[in-house]
Structure 1
Amino acid sequence: MTHSVGTTYDMTEKASDTPMFEVIFDVQAKAVGKMRAEMRIEAFEPFKSVNHLAIDEGTFQGGEGTAPTPLEFFLTGFAGCLMVQIKAFAKKKRIQIDALDVQLKAKWEAHKGVHVPYIGAPVGFELFIDIDSPSSEAEIQELVKSAQLGCFVEQTMAQINSIGHTVRKSGGDWVELT
């Protein structure tokens, strides 16, 4: 069911051609166990930070479950990104939020491949956003719609992206996969 209240936002709205700011990260990952990897994440723009995280798979994939899985981090990033954008946009719009809870339900399927063990296929994502606020329902819905546009994770998922893969074997030449 779709509700249309107050100002409507075109979720395919074209942004201006001139960026307000850039968001630039570099992630270095090193395999350190059966399926475990340790990562160094460095942010360059619009802020500077360095963090360290680990990922692992559960026994289903041959891991040991010593850290969250990549999908768990992905989903945490998605729900967390929308949540902080709601709070940031509420502050800019002077909308009081007394409590905010976000639940994200996600589903994928694995399909048998011809030349690979399986191919991952997203089925969909559902977000349930619970906001306690003295603001009107229309203001809260507009806030969430605008936060969707500001959530870099959701905007990344909402479009086709260019993803380059470059590989090298045993210190040899880098080869761009086509």
Structure 2
Amino acid sequence: MDLGAVLIAVAGVTGTLGGSLLTQRAAERGRRRELELVRDQEASRELLALRRACYGELNRDARQFTTALGTYLFVLRAGAPTDADRAALEAAKAAHRDRYSEAQMIAPHSVLAPAAAANRALNDVYGRLKRIERGEPAGGEDLGTAEEAREAVWPLLRTLRTALRADLGINDPF
């Protein structure tokens, strides 16, 4: 047998085996990329679902805290609040605090900035009402200024809601 023929045969077999090996590796790389893409898409969907749930609850709890502050203000005007009145206010405050804390872990700055502004305003009104209830209002604080501060929360909540909706990709006006 001729050495040249053997070398040609070996080169042919090597080329055939090498080609199938390269094809197999390319197919594996393609499958890995496809799996990574599927995982990334699934992670994005899960994060969107998590944000949607958190944002809905944050919006609801901020509004309920605002309403509870208004109810408590009404009760203070009418006389001394009962333990049930205090418990209702504390429950609304705790629910908002929990939701705000959750949002701090998953929301981008575009949502956190208006959430923080609303949170500060809500806690400011809460502090005013508690100081008034204890008979220790800060300079110029009374039920009238507390009501004005509570009313000033609503525009902050609208700004927050707009930011929440924008982050979820809902850009139509509400």
User: Please, what TM-score do these two structures have when normalized by structure 2?
Assistant: 0.24
Compare the two structures and name the one with the higher strand fraction: 1
User: Please, what TM-score do these two structures have when normalized by structure 1?
Assistant: 0.23
Compare the two structures and name the one with the higher helix fraction: 2
CA radius of gyration, larger in = 2
